[in-house]
Every structure is written in structure tokens, then in C-alpha cells.
Structure 1
């Protein structure tokens, strides 16, 4: 895919914002490659220098590239609620609550969160907020 092939990005299911982030990362690929030899926290900081790469992406990356067992994925839509539910019965936990609940596992927080995900212990689905009505009566 070329830099100007927006249709190819679209066909691949990649929106403009993500395509732009990928292209920015490609432009500094050599500098990003240097992150492989850095400690995980430094590698995360290097990744986040690229506009469009934030804490979620950098944590997910170093978990895989560095085997970073303490890099917790913050900014995830579901993870805080799952961790909160498993450790404290709190389905509405946010990132701060999740991090405080994972604090006893410092040094292994990603592993702890991953084990919770693999356990299948998740809060039950919420029911509909409004009762279903009979549209035939409208």
C-alpha cells in the first residue's frame, strides 16, 4: 500500500486516523527498531513519541516484543471492569481502580490481568434498559 492509496487502506478496514499513525511510525521505523534493545518502560516511551500511539498500543506492543509482564494495558474498554469484577466485585472499575487492585501483583501485573481474562470470570451481561414493547399497538 502506498502513502496515497487511501482506497487500499479503506478496503483493508483501516480508517484514516490509524493509517496516518502507521505512516508516521513507518517514517521513524529505524528509531522505533532501537526500542527493541531498551527496557520495556523506555520502549513504551519511545513508541508514544509517535503521534497516535498511546499507552494502550505501547503496552500491548511491549507485552509482546519484550515479554513485559508488568506492562498493564490502560485505556482498554473492558479490561478494568473485568479485573474489577474478578478482584473486588466492581464491574464499573476504571483504569485507576484496576491499577490499584493489581498493585499487590507489581512486577507481574500484566500476567495477573491476563490470567483473569483467561479464567473467564467476567461480569454478567446487562439486560436491556427499557422493556420491550409491542410495536403492533403503535
Structure 2
């Protein structure tokens, strides 16, 4: 099993927005972020640690302006905790390796896929296209994709 820790070097390489989101539990603007409308096949990893988090096969358009997924690649890739920042409880999602704030999970996702909506911040993620999985060290995740999904744009 690979360990995905937060390192001082990784944190120091973050942009201001990436730092605010992942280290200070910030939120980026909807519809003005890198992945809300990304339809390419691939995986999304923690921008801090590189831990695989979500697959494009579980991504859907939630209409919120943030990338949304029905589930993580591996349930152990993320952990959750209650967040009271808006004076009402929300379920915060963090990466299990680096404890990076990723976003929140809500119970208004597609019912046929379990009913969850993992609403993530693009600034907390790095996208690895299917064609780059092997060269980026994520070749084991290639099995998540069929030829049709690879060619989808």
C-alpha cells in the first residue's frame, strides 16, 4: 500500500488558491475552476500528495459549478468530518493521506448511484488523463477505463 503524506515541500509548491482550499478549508468560486466542466477520461488525485481520489467514470454534472462525483475510487481514500462553518452541519471531505480539504459530501446525488454527491474543489485536485496514467505512476488505474471511455471528450 502506498503512503500519501503531506510534506513541507508539497505544501510550499501550492498556489495561493490551492493552499487556501487544501490547508485552510477554503472554497473556490463555482463555474470558474479547472475541472467543473472537464469531461475527459482519467483520475483526479490530491494536489498535495498525489493520492488517487476520484475517477471520471464516477463524475457527473451536478449543476453546482464544482466537480462532483458519486463516490471515491477507494472508500479509504477519503475521510469525513462534521463542519459547522455555515452554522449548520455539513460533511467535510479530506484526503486520508495528507488530510487535504477537498470539499463536502451531500445526500442529493444520483439515487441510482448511491445518492451521494462528492462536491470537490478543483484547486484540491490534479487531473491525470488516461493516456498519462502509466507515465505518471498510476497505471494500476487503467482498468477503470474502456476504450470508449478513453476516447470520450
Q: Give the TM-score of the pair, scaled to structure 1.
A: 0.24
Q: Which has the larger radius of gyration?
A: 1
* Structure number with higher helix proportion: 1
Q: Using CA pairs below 8 Å that are at least 6 residues apart, which structure has the higher relative contact order?
A: 2
Higher share of residues assigned strand:
2
